[in-house]
Amino acid sequence: MQLCPSHRACPPRAKVATGAATALILAGLLLTLLLAALDSTIVATAMPRIVGELGGFDRYTWIVTAYLLTSTVAVPIVGKLADQYGRRPFLLGGTLFFLATSLLCSLAGSLEQLVAFRALQGVGGGVFTAAVFAAVPTLFSPAARARIVGLFTGTYGLASIVGPLLGGVVTDTVGWRGIFALNVPIGLVAMVILVVRYPRRGSNPVRPVIDYVGAVCLVAGITPLFLMLSLGGHGLARDSPVLLSLAVASAAVLATFVWIERRAAQPIVPLGLLRQSRGGDSVTRHGLHGGWTVRHFAVHTAVSPGRRGSERDPQR
């Protein structure tokens, strides 16, 4: 059955794997998603050591803001492109790019370099995250999809528990650079599984229609919004004219984005999806996870990362 019969540019559905092949593919997808899920929580624990070595206490929040910004922008765009060109290239390419930028993060010599590498890492994380969730309807039967998405959601829950503790242990033993290098063995195992087992899609005789204008508007609208949320109360006063300008600019561009998407033949974000409860729940979950992560970045340089990793009360 065709996945998106109403979309002319939707690629042919990949053959659904069964039995052991399905289990291996699922393991590869879960390992890939675990990279993104662990990223925020494991980095938060190492922040005191990072700031202590690289400096830039007044700009440390950009380490997470840069990642969240680029990954948030990448997810809807790549999700649409994966529908048109297939999930496999984005899944493998995004994971490989994420691993390469993780190594760059581990080699950063200044806070500015780390922020730049984190922004690139966020692109990779957004690419493979979108591809993982987009793969569900093409690989699994309708009866199994709810359970699969439940496993994906549980990965974030597991990461919120294991990530801080693991980050503390790694930081205390090998240093903060090890938390980025840790992504490499996990990602390589996931890539080997997916290269061998993930099915290739059939050829698509229809030329995909890409909403370039909508993609540009989405990036231009989300960027000032993230800057406003990140700088408000930190680098700028909450009543600053700069923050007001960012809010107005974001609202205007996003309103233009909605107007464009309603008229696009192949919109980047089908607006009808936002009215579905599952889509709203996903947005809420990612927003709360990102908000908790930023709040958890309170830097106490006198506290051991291992101890910080064992502290699970966000009010402390």
Whether residue 143 is contained in a domain is answered as yes
Residue 187: pLDDT over 90: yes
113: which 2 tokens? 């370099």
Whether residue 238 is contained in a domain is answered as no
| Of 268 and 258, the one with more pLDDT | 258
pLDDT at 193: 92
Whether residue 74 is contained in a domain is answered as yes
When pLDDT is averaged across residues 133-162 and rounded to a whole number, the result is 87
Tell me the pLDDT band of 241, cut-offs 50, 70 and 90.
confident
Question: Among 9-23, 184-198, 260-274, which is the least confidently predicted range?
Answer: 9-23
Q: Which of 213, 282, 218 is nearest to 255 (CA)?
A: 218
Contact 98, 130 (CB under 8 A): no
Residue 164: pLDDT over 60: yes
> Containing domain of residue 57, as a range?
19-204
pLDDT at 203: 54
pLDDT in tens, 3-55: 444 444 444 444 545 567 788 889 999 999 999 888 878 888 888 899 889 88
Look at the chain and report how many structural domains it folds into. Answer: 1
Q: Which of 140, 159, 156, 157 is nearest to 148 (CA)?
A: 140
Whether residue 116 is contained in a domain is answered as yes
Which of 7-11, 55-59, 71-75, 225-229: highest mean pLDDT? 71-75
> How far does CA 117 lie from the centroid of its chain?
15
Whether residue 121 is contained in a domain is answered as yes
Residue 217: pLDDT over 50: yes
In this prediction the pTM is 0.78
Distance from C-alpha of 7 to C-alpha of 22, rounded to nearest angstrom:
27
Quote the DSSP letter at residue 57.
G
Quote the DSSP letter at residue 232.
B
Share of the chain above pLDDT 90, in %: 25
**Contacts for 164 with CB less than 8 Å, ≥ 6 apart:** 41, 42, 44, 45, 296, 308, 309, 310, 311, 312
Residue 75: pLDDT over 90: no
Share of the chain above pLDDT 70, in %: 76
CATH number for the domain including 131? 1.20.1250.20
Whether residue 152 is contained in a domain is answered as yes
pLDDT at 120: 95
The amino acid that residue 207 corresponds to is R
**Contacts for 287 with CB less than 8 Å, ≥ 6 apart:** none
When pLDDT is averaged across residues 57-74 and rounded to a whole number, the result is 85
pLDDT at 281: 44
Task: Please provide the DSSP assignment of 94-115 as one string.
Answer: HHHHHHHHHHHHHT--SHHHHH
Tell me the pLDDT band of 316, cut-offs 50, 70 and 90.
very low
Crossing angle of the two packed helices 277-295 and 62-85, in degrees rounded to 10: 150
Whether residue 211 is contained in a domain is answered as no
163: which 2 tokens? 């990530």
pLDDT at 189: 94
Tell me the pLDDT band of 73, cut-offs 50, 70 and 90.
confident
pLDDT at 30: 92
Residue 93: pLDDT over 70: yes
pLDDT at 289: 43
pLDDT in tens, 280-303: 444 434 444 443 344 343 333 334
Question: Among 122-126, 153-157, 168-172, 303-307, which is the least confidently predicted range?
Answer: 303-307
